[in-house]
Amino acid sequence: MTVDALAAILLIPAVAAAILALMPDYRITALLNVVAALLTFVTALSLFVVEPVSGQYLLVDDLNKVFVVLTTFVGFTTSVFSASYIGHEIETGRLTPAFVRFYHAMYQTLMFAMNVALVANNIGLMWVAVEVATLTTVLMVGIYRTHEALEAAWKYFILGSVGIALALFGTILVYMAARPVIGEGLDAMVWSVLVTRASEFDPALLNVAFVFLLLGYGTKVGLAPLHAWLPDAHAEGPTPISAVLSGLLLNVALYALLRFKMILAVSVGTIAPGPLMVVMGLISVIFASLMLYRRRDIKRMFAYSSIEHMGIIVFAFGMGGPLANFAGLLHMSMHSLTKSAIFFAVGHIAQVKGTQKIGEISGLTVTNPLLGWGLMLGVVAIVGLPPLGIFMSEFLVVSSTFARAPWLAVILVLGILIALGGLLMRINGVMFGAPEGASKPTEASYMPMFTHLALVLMAGVYLPSALVAGFQNVARLLG
Amino acid sequence: MQHGLEFDVAHLLAGSLVLASFMMLYQDRLYALLNVYALHAVVLALSVAWQAFVQDAPHLYVTALIALVFKAIIIPVSLHRIIVRLGIHREIETAVGVGLTMMAGIGLVALSMVVMLRVTPGADALAREDLAFALSVVLLGLLIMVTRRNAVSQVVGFMSLENGLVLAATGAKGMPLVVEISVAFSVLIAFIVIGIFLFRIRERFDSVDVQALDRFRGERR
């Protein structure tokens, strides 16, 4: 049997993780980490050229191609950022080489788990993959072993485990619903089989299952009121992990939710999953935007901004329909790129200034112009100002909602505006206040940050028609 | 007749699991809680083994064995040792009184019966009852986690919750990947237990009390 691209995107990170666990020198492992991530990304791109055959365990369709390419791309750029970030952490002695070795192995394990979750055709396998992804991130969040890091990791552990447990109960219920129709055994857990036969399933059982799945995977998406782990985990872990958490892992959990939403959409007698998602999305947007005002820690602030944006995305998918789904997909991609770029900037800034406290960072545009303006551009993008990509996707979400449910759109716009005010108010002093603190030049890697921002800017000005067609196709699939 | 016996034994074991969950609710000593948890795991092992026998599914014996060896022996013993080594307070501080917790527990069991029995009229009786009991165990596990302040007893609550999930998974006849899932869960639990020890929560904080952890939170100062 030849190894096709599908197997390769799983094998490359798995093998890399094993090799990285054995290599002692951090410079080589950092480089290897980058190479492995790049290889995975290139292989993921090849999925568009030759579509591999899907089986009972793995599946490639238009929906998860988008997710896989986004995940592997951000995974690659983050590994580049991570290399320079980790180098600095070793110099300052915050991490020892042994921990870095562990960190790199975990990084590739995380990429492996996320890729498995995205291409899994079996809902049980998908669940296991999300669990593994959670475990690896828990370990990485606690890697500094300070009071705060341990507390964050512990909280993430417990809340994440409960979420995962609820998701498993939902998965079991889906199997119970499918068994009388499809029969016992593996087929009743295969997503592509489930989605074709879902109309015959018992709707009541599917309803209960979806509630559990929404609560379970929703915890991992970071929807309010299940978000408590998210700000701590983002603030206390190494910054590359904050970038991967916000940019990728939240998307993976959302993807799992979308797969189940598609099953429910086929079934006739079930409740519409849309309104549930719309309500949770709106609560998250409003709640997170209000929370932005009193933040003192810069990474924690952007973590709340992630909750807000996941809220918008879940809202868009909850509204459903080709236009809202298209907007949701676009917003998800734009958010991943922008938020990870912001974390790249914040990571270097925190290293230069030696603090994450907003009050202690001031006048960045003077002391570190390149980092400062990079972060400023990222913030302008994330609050949704034109002409960047997020403006366009938010505009699409809002305008498509106005046509169908004006009141919901009003609430959404209110949330977005509150967030805009909060972020700009907080970031103003950081950027333009009286210069303060260290201004020593850094060996920052600007490439990942500016690549992401350039992509976001480009998407805001002009979206290639091939991309639009692809997203429209996926949006139709999502129903 | 044979069918009646199958049903009765499964019913008895699943019911005992709920009972054991209730017993955990009113323990106020950590060691006693661990002993009840071990009992919980033994009941689970019996229940899973019975399902393996009834469904004629030999792979489920693996799950039963994991429950017996790993959950009923290794985990309680190692937690016991960790408590001694780290010198954790042996009394459990509860956030809510025992009486109120028990009432809430009864309410949760009633809720899960109402929900599960109503939505599964089509499924066979055994699976229905199992699912209703399993949901009760899951909810009671959540209740334990919510009402306890100590990290170790929260972990025990989580493990009992997980036992409920294994009960549900084995009750769903012919479900694939059950063994794999129970192994994945055991890994998760092992991580948590090792985490308590390796992260040396005791060394870093004065207690493994989650409230104490809260004080270190980034912004509360």
- Note down pLDDT in tens along chain A; length 479 residues: 456 888 888 999 999 999 998 888 878 888 999 999 999 999 999 888 877 888 888 888 888 899 999 999 999 999 999 998 988 888 888 888 888 888 999 999 999 999 999 999 999 899 989 988 988 898 888 888 787 888 888 888 888 888 988 999 999 899 888 888 888 878 888 999 988 888 888 888 888 899 999 999 999 999 988 888 999 999 988 999 999 998 899 999 999 999 999 998 888 777 788 889 999 999 999 999 999 988 889 999 999 999 999 999 999 999 988 899 999 999 999 999 999 999 999 999 888 888 888 888 888 888 888 888 999 999 999 998 888 889 999 999 999 998 888 999 999 999 999 999 999 988 888 888 887 766 666 667 888 999 999 999 999 888 888 889 989 999 988 87
Is residue A359 included in any domain, yes or no?
yes
Run of H or E including A426: helix A406-432
**Which residues share a beta bridge with A190?**
A122
Instruction: With beta carbons under 8 A apart, name residues in chain B contacting A168.
Output: 165, 169, 181
pLDDT at residue A51, rounded to an integer:
77
Say whether A202 and B119 touch across the interface (CB within 8 A).
yes
- One-letter amino acid identity for A352? V
Instruction: With beta carbons under 8 A apart, name residues in chain A contacting B162.
Output: 165
Distance CA B79, CA B77 (A): 5
- A189 to chain B, any CB pair closer than 8 A? The answer is yes
Say whether A151 and B162 touch across the interface (CB within 8 A).
no
Domain total in chain A? 1
Is residue A75 included in any domain, yes or no?
no
Say whether A204 and B119 touch across the interface (CB within 8 A).
yes
Is residue A406 included in any domain, yes or no?
yes
pLDDT at residue B88, rounded to an integer:
74
- Splitting chain B (221 residues) into consecutive groups of 10 residues, what average pLDDT does each group show? 74 92 88 93 93 87 90 90 80 80 92 84 74 91 84 85 89 79 80 70 46 50 39
Distance CA B48, CA B16 (A): 13
- A300 to chain B, any CB pair closer than 8 A? The answer is yes
Which residues, in sequence order, are CB contacts of B187 under 8 Å at separation 6+? Answer: A135
Run of H or E including A363: none
Is residue A423 included in any domain, yes or no?
yes
Instruction: With beta carbons under 8 A apart, name residues in chain B contacting A122.
Output: 176-177
Is residue A455 included in any domain, yes or no?
yes
- A204 to chain B, any CB pair closer than 8 A? The answer is yes
Say whether A154 and B199 touch across the interface (CB within 8 A).
yes
**Which residues share a beta bridge with B150?**
B209
* The pair of three-digit structure tokens given for residue A354, joined into one six-digit string: 């030696």
Is residue A400 included in any domain, yes or no?
yes
Is residue A318 included in any domain, yes or no?
yes
**What value does the mean pLDDT of chain A take?**
89
Residue of A nearest to B164 (CA): A169
- The domain of A393 spans 273-479
* The pair of three-digit structure tokens given for residue A309, joined into one six-digit string: 């944006």
How far is CA A430 from its chain centroid? Answer: 26
pLDDT at residue B207, rounded to an integer:
45
pLDDT at residue B213, rounded to an integer:
53
Please give the interface size between A and B, counted as residue pairs whose CB atoms are below 8 Å apart.
Answer: 130
Say whether B177 and A122 touch across the interface (CB within 8 A).
yes
Report DSSP letters for chain B, one per residue: -HHHHHHHHHHHHHHHHHHHHHHHHT--BHHHHHHHHHHHHHHHHHHHHHHHHHTT-THHHHHHHHIIIIIIIIHHHHHHHHHHHHT--SBPPBSS-HHHHHHHHHHHHHHHHHHHHHH-SSS-HHHHHHHHHHHHHHHHHHHHHHHB-BHHHHHHHHHHHHHHHHHHHHHSTT-TTHHHHHHHHHHHHHHHHHHHHHTTHHHHSS-SBHHHHHTT-TT--
Distance CA A319, CA A398 (A): 11
pLDDT at residue A91, rounded to an integer:
85
Say whether A128 and B204 touch across the interface (CB within 8 A).
no
Is residue A170 included in any domain, yes or no?
no
ipTM of model = 0.85
Model pTM? 0.90
